[in-house]
Amino acid sequence: MNLTPFTKHYATPERATGAVRHYRWIAAHAKPLRQPALRTVAPDTLTFERIEGRSVRPEDLPRVAEVLGHAHGAAWVSDLRSASLDTPHHFQDGTTFDDYLGPRRLAVRRRHDQGYLPNMAALHAMLGLLEATAQGPCAFYKDSNPRNFIVTRTQDIVAVDTDDLSLAPMGYDLAKLIATLHLTYGPLTDQAVTTALLRYNAAARRHDARLGTTDRGRLDSFLGLHAVLTAPYVGRNGYRYSLPLRFHLRGAS
């Protein structure tokens, strides 16, 4: 059965061009992350192969964690081992990834201004947490959430919406997936989170023995950051639950 292709519209040609560059970077350097085929490139639209399937659910977390671990490991070996988390990364093909620290410092300060951090002490605690997580090998961040992966009828996992990429520490994007599964379906068990982390680390280590060292405390620090950064979206876009308070507490300790 031939499915009608999916056409995505962009506000400006520059946005479309950036999306193509990021799509092609993943295809070249993060091959384990399968994407829909890019059929047509126009000035402000991209047309992709249409993928039939469903969004990721909590029971899919271990498999998606493994895919992310492989993708991050492959990208580090291929093109990210020289990247720095506090510096935008420029690639030979013209692709630029935002750094990890700069945009998130601004976002954390914005959450304080919006009232999601109650006082200056909380703001400084979260900024300190952000700085503390800016270490170790670089991965990329693609905003992993349940809607940005499709599970097909044959149980393949396909990543969609890779328009905006940035640098991030290993494990940060896995934490975003865990956080948004919490927000969508309610709290996951500690065992489910730990299992996903083990699968992620094992997959990353298959690409280089120096990878796959994210521990549970570091993952919880990432979850504490995501709890603040995603706070405005609770009650919107299918996010019906708040992140458990324990992640705030672990992250700020």
- SS3 percent helix, strand, coil of the chain, rounded to 5, is 50, 15, 40
| pLDDT digits 0-9 by tens, 116-135 | 999 999 999 999 999 999 99
C-alpha to C-alpha distance for 102 and 96, rounded to whole angstroms: 14
Beta-bridged to residue 141, according to DSSP, are 166
How far from each other are the two terminal CA atoms of the chain, in whole angstroms? 54
Please give the average per-residue pLDDT across 219-234, as a whole number: 94
Paired tokens of 172: 């940060």
| Residue 246 reports pLDDT greater than 80 | no
Q: What is the reported pLDDT for 222?
A: 96
| Residue 245 reports pLDDT greater than 80 | no
Residue 44, classified by CB atoms within 10 Å of its CB into exposed (0-12), middle (13-18) or buried (19+), is: middle
Q: Please state, rounded to an integer, the average pLDDT across all residues of the chain.
A: 92
| pLDDT digits 0-9 by tens, 62-113 | 999 999 999 999 999 999 999 999 999 887 766 678 999 999 999 999 999 9
Q: What is the reported pLDDT for 251?
A: 42
Nearest one of 181, 179, 186 to 247, comparing CA atoms: 179
Please give the average per-residue pLDDT across 125-149, as a whole number: 95
Paired tokens of 236: 């919107």
Q: Which residue has the tokens 């991965």?
A: 139
Paired tokens of 49: 């192969």
Please give the average per-residue pLDDT across 3-8, as a whole number: 91
| Residue 18 reports pLDDT greater than 70 | yes
Domains of the chain and any CATH numbers? 51-252 (3.90.1200.10)
| Residue 211 reports pLDDT greater than 50 | yes
C-alpha to C-alpha distance for 195 and 10, rounded to whole angstroms: 38
Q: What is the reported pLDDT for 136?
A: 94
- List CB contacts of 152: < 8 A, sequence separation 6 or more: 51, 52, 53, 158
Q: What is the reported pLDDT for 7?
A: 95
| pLDDT digits 0-9 by tens, 22-64 | 999 999 999 999 999 999 999 999 999 999 999 999 999 999 9
C-alpha to C-alpha distance for 41 and 15, rounded to whole angstroms: 12
Q: What is the reported pLDDT for 244?
A: 61
- List CB contacts of 253: < 8 A, sequence separation 6 or more: none
